[in-house]
Structure 1
Amino acid sequence: MNASELRAKDVAEIEKEISELLKAHFGLRMQKATQQLTNTSTLGNTRRDIARARTILAEKKKGAAK
């Protein structure tokens, strides 16, 4: 997910996206624990997507408060 795609969404959509990413990250962690995950780089990518979405969400909330 690009930052530009996230910036086009509103706050509720970004929060929904974060919850979906957290669920996906949990699933990937469980796959890694049971040694079913072949591409471990997806863990890092998902973690970065979560951080990106949270950053943009904080920017939008801060901008709305002004």
Structure 2
Amino acid sequence: MATAKELKELSEADLKQRAAELRDTLFQDQLKRATGSLDNPSERTQHKRDLARILTVLGEKTRTEKKA
């Protein structure tokens, strides 16, 4: 996934789309984990971190827009 610096260059719409995709991926990971078919549990951790990174950048963008 992209770094925070790369994510800051994206528009809010792109960030929201990526966040939605990651939420869907996390849901699928959760189902796989429950059924015992999750191959690599570390991918789930990475997806959670990527989502948190995207949400952080989105929050920063909204705060800077409110100040301006």
The bucket for the TM-score relative to the shorter chain is over 0.9
Deviation at 1:38, TM superposition (A): 1.4
Aligned to 2:37, the other structure's residue is in SS state coil
Q: 1:36 matched to which residue of 2?
A: 37
1:12 paired residue number: 13
Question: Given the two structures, how large is their TM-score scaled by the length of structure 1?
Answer: 0.93
The TM-score normalised by the length of structure 2 is 0.90
Equivalenced residues, count? 66
User: Which amino acid counterpart does residue 49 of structure 2 have in structure 1?
Assistant: R
Which residue of structure 2 lines up, in the alignment, with residue 26 of structure 1? 27
Q: Which runs of 5+ in 2 are unaligned?
A: none
Cα distance in 1 between the residues matched to 2:28 and 2:9? 27
* 1:11 aligned partner, one-letter code: E
Q: 1:6-63 deviations in whole A, cap 9, x for unaligned?
A: 1110111111110000001101111111111111011111111111100000000001
Q: Structure 2 CA distance, aligned partners of 1:45 and 1:22?
A: 12
Identity of aligned residues (%): 33
